[in-house]
Structure 1
Amino acid sequence: MFSEGPARNGDVALPPQPDATDRKLLRELQRDSQRSVQVLGECVGLSPSACHRRIKVLEESGYIIGYRAELDAILLGFGMQFFIEVELNSQSETALDAFEAAVQDIPEVLECHLMAGQADYILRVVCRDHEDFEHLHRRLSARLPGVARIHSNMSIRRVKARTGLPI
């Protein structure tokens, strides 16, 4: 199942690394997690009960952190996507914490990444149209604490999207 011995990262004990069968199972779950354990087991050469046990261990070890449905943004009316670079007035821990707490309350912000480089944060946001983006931009400027500069880039189209990890 898992390779022997937990790995160490500084003082943090990491869970044991998945073996080859576990990695196959993780790839199959990333591809389609709605298949039955019988079908998944057949894909990776396990009985349904062994497949179920391995999935439970992978979940309990933290390798599987959730299951979700991927929705079509355009069909749901979110035809515009932007990547917004944000620079803050200060990079103190207090300023970063305040910004990160405030961004949690903006539903159009799908992702927020703390960056190393030119911008302090990059946000991925969706909007219905230009007017919706203008309102969002004003809210970001007004509601997010410590913002010094916002630079927005509109996505013309998605060239590649991958939700799974290359395991």
Structure 2
Amino acid sequence: MDAIDRAILRELQKDGRISNQDLADRVGLSPSPCLRRVKTLEASGVIAGYRADLSAKALGLPITVFVELGLDRHTNETTKLVEDSIRAIANVLECHVLAGDADYLLKIAIGSLEEYESLIRSEIRSIPSVASVRTSFAYANVKEHAPLPVGTSGRRK
């Protein structure tokens, strides 16, 4: 991947609906080679897909909750059951496996505290082997959906 590929990736992260002509203009290529590079980046898996960025608040999901789950068992069968159960819960936006005190960290979008209580009682606590649930509510968002740093060590200059 060279500097032009990295420029393409930065531009696509800013605007995934940009036309090929505009993208080519921004990165200093003609349209045909630009499109070839985009197709190559897609085929190689660097570009994993395109999606619309929706407003949770506009969809009636104004509350963001982070939930740490602890398990009482860690067998392959248990973790598969837990992870399959979590994948099936629509309000769970992200699920990360952790090293440390908790086993999983969930990011949940929800409409109200009452809906959150219901979700915990009926869906999260009903997952076999979930031994602990620790909740943190986000009251502000400082940075969300940031583009991945392309061609850096993770630091922005």
Q: TM-score, normalised by structure 2?
A: 0.92
Which of 113, 119, 128 in structure 2 is aligned with 1:130? Answer: 113
The residue number in structure 2 matching 1:116 is 99
Which of 111, 114, 124 is the matching residue for 1:140? Answer: 124
Q: Does 1:92 align with 2:75?
A: yes
| Runs (5+) with no aligned partner, structure 2 | 151-157
SS in 2 for 1:166: coil
- Write the distance in 1 (CA, Å) between the matches of 2:125 and 2:144: 29
Q: Secondary structure at the match of 2:65?
A: strand
CA distance in 1, matches of 2:108, 2:45: 28
1:68 is the counterpart of 2:51 = yes
- 2:26 aligned partner, one-letter code: C
Give the length in aligned residue pairs.
Answer: 149
Runs of 4+ with >3 A deviation: none
Gaps of 5+ in 1: 1-17
Q: What is the deviation of 1:163?
A: 3.6
State how far apart, in whole Å, the 2-side matches of 1:122 and 1:36 are.
Answer: 37
Identity over the aligned pairs, expressed in percent?
42
Normalising by structure 1, we get a TM-score of 0.87
The structural deviation recorded for 1:145 is 2.2
Structure of higher RCO (CA pairs closer than 8 Å, 6+ residues apart): 2
Query: What is residue 13 of structure 2 aligned with on the other side?
Result: 30
* 1:19-58 pair list within 5 angstroms: 19-58=2-41
Kept after mapping to 2: 8 A contact 1:102/1:145: no
